[in-house]
Amino acid sequence: MRSPLVAGNWKMNLTSAEGEALVTEILHLAGENFKIDVVICPSFLAIPKIADVCRRSRIKLGAQNCFWVDKGAFTGQVSPTQLAEFHVDYCIVGHSETRGKFGKLEIPESTVGLFSESDETINLKLKALFYQGVTPILCVGETLAEREAGQTDSVIEAQLRGALVGIEPAEMYGLVVAYEPVWAIGTGQVCDAAEAERVCGMIRGCLGQIADDETSENIRILYGGSVKSDNAAELFRMPNIDGGLVGGASMVAKDFYQIIVAAE
Ligand code: PEP
């Protein structure tokens, strides 16, 4: 039986103090009685402060990215070992904003891909995180152009296969996968619940082929992309959607709390 999970991705928002105030407000609303797993993914710099708050609650801590090597001459990177020092339980990997072009930001064509993760680096990150006991939240999803070309399923299948090369089913057992259609992230354009369920079911089938049925039945699959308090319940009611990866709405205490309630 998979327990629901709701993760908030704050991206490059909120100072430590603002983050602390937000988590305190969420805890005040929830009375610390979550029946599901709730994860907050602050920026690296806010992790120590939010780790302190989380330690006194049932909220789990997540990071938004990591490097795959333990230590060394990798300027500006953060390793899974450094995350584990702050009791980070989860780490987002392969978010569309780190795979390629950043969200809605207009950046020069020459910088597209500058931040990008390939299937190969995503695979290395997953292995490094599993080694440290940090649960990866692996993001997959198609762009609008890929959807319109009828490539949604094949793109996602390739992302899953690339990310999971050489990872044993026993390790994959605790994995979290987030289906995040790129065109739905930060746009207010949520994927229709029936279609989100179809894709999440396809993802589960694919995980069954890569690992085995028991493993794929245990893996939690989240939907992400403009999840709000008024559409969360319909999405989370779907049998293959085990919760959400939430960006914008996770930074408004009342909205995030309502999304948590919808998942419960
Ligand atoms: C995200 O950052 O993964 C995301 C889904 O953002 P939003 O909820 O704002 O669309």
What are the start-end ranges of the E strands in 116-208? 135-140, 176-179
pLDDT recorded at residue 32: 62
DSSP tag of 215:
H
Task: Give dist(CA 232, CA 240) in Å, integer.
Answer: 14
Mutate to test the pocket of ligand 1, among 11, 138, 185 (most ligand atoms within 8 A of CB): 185
Q: What is the pTM of this model?
A: 0.95
| CB 110 within 8 Å of CB 151 | no
The one catalytic residue among 157, 180, 217, 234: 180
Quote the distance between the C-alpha of residue 220 and its chain's center.
Answer: 11
pLDDT 10s per residue in the chain (264 long)? 799 999 999 999 999 999 999 999 999 998 767 789 999 999 999 999 999 998 888 899 999 999 999 999 999 999 999 999 999 999 999 999 888 755 555 666 666 655 668 899 999 999 999 999 999 999 999 989 999 999 999 999 999 999 999 999 999 999 999 999 999 998 889 999 999 999 999 999 999 999 999 999 999 999 999 999 999 999 999 999 999 999 999 999 999 999 999 999
Give dist(CA 103, CA 100) in Å, integer. Answer: 9
Residue nearest atom 2 of ligand 1, based on CA coordinates: 247
Does residue 157 carry a catalytic annotation?
no
- Can you list the domains of the chain with their CATH numbers? 5-263 (3.20.20.70)
Active site residue 180: yes
Residue type, 178: A
pLDDT of residue 262: 96
Name residues contacting ligand 1 (CB within 6 A).
9, 180, 185-186, 224-227, 245-249
